[in-house]
Each structure stands twice: as C-alpha cells, then as structure tokens.
Amino acid sequence: MISEIQGRGSYAIRAARAVDVLEGKVVKDAVVLVEGDRIAAFGSNLTLPGGAESIDLGNATLMPGLHDNHCHLMMDPLDLDAVVYKRSSARKTLDALVNAQKTLWGGFTFVRVPGDCEWQYGLVDLKKYIAEGLALGPRMQVAPHYISITGGHGDANDFACDLCMKGIGKIVDGVDAMRQAVREEIKYGADWIKLFASGGVLSMGDDPSHSHYTLDEIRVAAEEAHRLGKKITAHAHGAQAVKYCAEAGFDSVEHCTLIDDEGLAMMKEKEIYCVPTLYCLDFIQEPANPMNLHASIIQKAKEMRGFQREHFAKIVQAGVPVAYGTDIGVFPHGQNWRDFPCMVECGMEPVAAIQSATINSARMNGIDAEVGALARGLKADVVAVEGDAIQDVNLLEKVRFVMKDGVVVRREEG
C-alpha cells in the first residue's frame, strides 16, 4: 500500500527543466512553488520564499501530473479470464485500488476508466474512496460499464449458449433500452458513458471493422448523456463507427484505428478527442504474453497494428485533438508511460505527447480549472522524471518524484 512521504506544506521544487504545457515549451532552471494543495508560482530561477522546503531534483524534467484516459484498473493480463468471470465485484475493486496506486507511483495523478469488467459499481465507490482521502490514489472519472450489443465486443461470444454467461458489460439493444441503460449508469454515479460502437480485438467472433450500434442508437446515447450533464465516449475501431460517433457529437472516441479522411475531418471540425491506445497491440503480439490468447485474436492484433500506426500519424497531421490513453490492464499496471514512444514514432512531438497527457486531458474531462498544468492556483500535481524527457520520451518510465494535491507520495532525489 502506497502511503504519503510528506504531507502538505510549503515547497520549492527545482529541476533542470520543466514542461510548460500551456505554452508548449520547455522552461530551463525551473521552479514550482507549492503552498498547501496549490501551486503558488511556476517559472525560471524564482526567488524562494522563506520557510519553504527546497526539493532539488537536479537534472530532471518537471511536468504536471500525468493523465491516462483509458485505464482498466480491474483487468490483469496475467489471468484475464479469472478477472472477468471468477472474481466478485468486491475483489475486483480491491484489485483496482492496488492497480490505481501503481498508476500513481508511475506519475499518473488522474485516470479515466472507460468501463471495466464487472457488473456492479465498484469503480464509483473506489473513486469516492480516494476522493474522500481514505486511500492514496489518482483522481478518477469513470464509466462504470461497457455498453455492448448482443454478440458484440462486450458479450461472452466464446461460451456455449446453454451456459447462459453474462457479457463483460451491459448488453443493450435498441433505442429505448439504450436510453434506460444510460440513465441507469448516471443514476449510480457515472461521469462518462462508454459504448462499444464497433467490434474489437480481444473478443471472439466479431470484426473490428464492423459497426455494432446503429446511428439512431448512438445518437440517443449521446443525447441522453449530454442532457443529463455527462460525457460520452466509444470504443470504435471501424471507420463507419467513428463517423457515427462524430455525427452524434461524442466527446471522445477511443482507438480510431481504421478512421478514414471523412472521419478525420468530422472529428477535427467538432473538436472530438481521439484517445489512441497504441502500445497494447504490441503487447498482445509478444511471444511472452501471459494472456493465453486464441490465435485468431493475435492475428487480429497483427492486422490492426499496421492500420493503427498509419492512421494515428494521420490524426496527428490533421490536428485532431488527442488525449493520452493506453488500454492498460491489457498490459501490466504501472507501465502507463508505454504509449509516449509510440506517439512520437507516429510523428507527434514530445511536448505535444506530454500535452496530450496533461492539459488536453484536463480540457476533455472538464477539469482544466483545477489540474493539467503547472500554473498558479491549480492543484499541486507535480511529477519529475530522470533526465531530459523531451529529448528521450522513454525516460518517462524513470519517475523520481510524484506529488498529488500537495502531498509527496514518491521522492527520489538525485
């Protein structure tokens, strides 16, 4: 269990450089002044106030607390079937707390969980538990469940029909059922609604290129979520599914693997965020992958990976807004940094990749008045990584310092 190292106070956090995500630039000889749970000042070579404790991190890179917008805290690639079908909601929620703390230790002070593999509302309780200060963990926004068509990415397609197995999420068909499902999610504490708008990779018997919900079903989900003041996203690999979501005015779309030029234009015009999740398809194909996946799933991952990198490069070039997300839980928790090198490989500048995991995410989630940047008055979520992470984004693995809400939870001075 991660516990705080130092509580709130007055701190002067110093490092060789910091990322100013609001201006999109690097600040040399950076200082972040913290008072209580807020940032008091940020800049270069600031005068240190009397009484502030100096934390000198040397040749490190400071940045705001990082965000992962596609984080499955209840999943574990070491035993995926057991996680989905053999564990209670209570056990999955305990697992999620442990994984949330691994995430915080890795420098991610905020996560969005876009559905997870359970049938109760453990994610909502975990979010509240952390927010009330009963345990350390990242800030959270959650979509409690996946919403899937019968036979879709969220159904139990590889089980015999006479076993009457539940899907991994809510199985919802038709406009009226969709309206009711969205209302129920919001009733029990959803921040986001999450649909499976297309087939997926890790499911049997479906095709990632196929649209699963009709445009009418997708529209009513968006209308109902927005009418009740919530946001909506969708798992969408296929080009048509992406366009349906864009036409309906979704707030984000996950993956966008097979997006076409029309979909790119729609997402850019409507400022709909892409949450790309790149590294997970690499992990699925690794020979040492512990998931014991069917050969057809590995083949889907291989085919989709090529499209994924090509189309994400087009997303970057087109200027579609991007918010960082990994699909962690498909690969081991604590490795949330893995998508940064993939994004840079596809042509995204390192500073832009960090912006996607900070200020872009905060804006998408509607929390940029509180977090997402190193700026006076914002919450003191501060992370430092070893060396010059702008020159080598792989250094984002090497976290040395984590502060959330002005509380130091990790500190490794050089």
Is pLDDT above 80 for 414? Answer: no
Under 8 Å between Cβ of 374 and 18 = yes
The model's pLDDT over 265-311, given as tens digits with 9 standing for 90+, comes to 999 999 999 999 999 999 998 887 888 788 888 888 888 898 999 99
Rg of the chain over Cα atoms, rounded to whole angstroms, equals 21
* pLDDT for residue 165: 57
The model's pLDDT over 144-203, given as tens digits with 9 standing for 90+, comes to 999 999 988 866 556 556 655 565 789 999 999 999 999 999 999 999 999 999 988 877
* pLDDT for residue 152: 81
The model's pLDDT over 381-410, given as tens digits with 9 standing for 90+, comes to 999 999 999 999 999 999 999 999 999 999
Query: Dihedral angle at the C-alpha atoms of 306, 336, 341, 255, nearest 10 degrees?
Result: 30
* pLDDT for residue 167: 59
Say how far apart CA 80 and CA 204 lie, in whole Å: 14
Say how far apart CA 399 and CA 128 lie, in whole Å: 26
In residues, how long is the chain? 414
Q: How far is CA 288 from CA 77, 143, 201, 291, in A?
A: 12, 31, 18, 9
Is pLDDT above 90 for 374? Answer: yes
* pLDDT for residue 160: 53
* pLDDT for residue 369: 98
* pLDDT for residue 286: 87
Q: Which domains does the chain have, with CATH numbers?
A: 10-65+372-411 (2.30.40.10), 66-365 (3.20.20.140)
Report the pLDDT averaged over residues 32-39.
97
Confidence of residue 15 (pLDDT cuts 50, 70, 90): very high
The model's pLDDT over 53-101, given as tens digits with 9 standing for 90+, comes to 999 999 999 999 999 999 999 998 876 666 677 788 999 999 999 999 9
* pLDDT for residue 208: 87
Say how far apart CA 163 and CA 166 lie, in whole Å: 9
Is pLDDT above 90 for 102? Answer: yes
* pLDDT for residue 86: 76
**Region of residue 222 (phi > 0: left; psi between -120 and 50: alpha; otherwise: beta):** alpha
* pLDDT for residue 124: 98
Is pLDDT above 90 for 367? Answer: yes
* pLDDT for residue 141: 98
Is pLDDT above 90 for 130? Answer: yes
* pLDDT for residue 39: 98
End-to-end CA distance of the chain: 24
* pLDDT for residue 283: 92
* pLDDT for residue 137: 98
Report the pLDDT averaged over residues 360-376.
98
pTM: 0.95
Say how far apart CA 74 and CA 328 lie, in whole Å: 10
Mean pLDDT over all residues of the chain?
A: 93
- What are 155-160's contacts with CB under 8 Å, separation 24+? 155/203, 157/203, 157/204, 157/205, 157/206, 158/204, 158/205, 158/294
% of residues, the chain, pLDDT over 90: 79
* pLDDT for residue 37: 97
Q: Give the list of residues 6+ apart from residue 51 with CB closer than 8 angstroms, or none.
A: 10
* pLDDT for residue 80: 67
